[in-house]
Structure 1
Amino acid sequence: MKAQWSPNGRQVPCRVVHVARGAKLPDFIDQIYSHFRDVGAPVMMGGDTDASSKGIVGACRDPPSLLVVDPHCYGAGITRHQLQEKCWVKWVSLENFCQESFYNLCMPVKLDKS
């Protein structure tokens, strides 16, 4: 599915990847990992039972986990230590995601410059 994300009023073309159940997230780790290697843009993630929105800014294959940023974090001058201490940014093992919730991943795509 194609979609657009509009940060600051700019339209960013995206691909939406549907994961039917959190238990299936490990099947998508290579695709997510490749996205960061090839595109490098954050991934927006949301689900149904797990209703907290997430920004994904990194992926690890071993152990399979995602670097999650809480998009509700705000404020100037926050240190890396404070972000980690308050769990605004943390590595989350795929097994710690809600296994019964579906998830949609909004993955910005790289534009051809031709």
Structure 2
Amino acid sequence: MEKTVLHIERAASVLKLLGDKTRLTMAGLLFHRECCVCEFVEVFNMSQPSISQHLRKLRDAGVVRERRKGQWVFYSLNQESEAYPLIETLITHVPDQKEKLDVLERKRMICD
């Protein structure tokens, strides 16, 4: 399998985007499963507009995808992005965020 090499500008852009603690944590959560905006609101204790702003930046950069299901919008990491291998590697070098998802599941804060 041939390794994909990002242009330095693209790599710098993705790293700058994920240099924000909230967006890096979002990527860590999305590494495990897709999440709804309302779940991020609960995890980060932030307003829905603030969460949506972070997600818009990630979406516009092609880092995440969105899927609509009724009134809900679900986000997932874009595994088809040329930057995905860089993001995946980065996430493996920061604390695992799965415990935050476990808390949501215990609270039944799962959108469906």
TM-score, length-scaled by structure 2: 0.29
TM-score, length-scaled by structure 1: 0.29
More helix per residue: 2
More strand per residue: 1
The higher relative CO (CA closer than 8 Å, separation ≥ 6) is in: 1
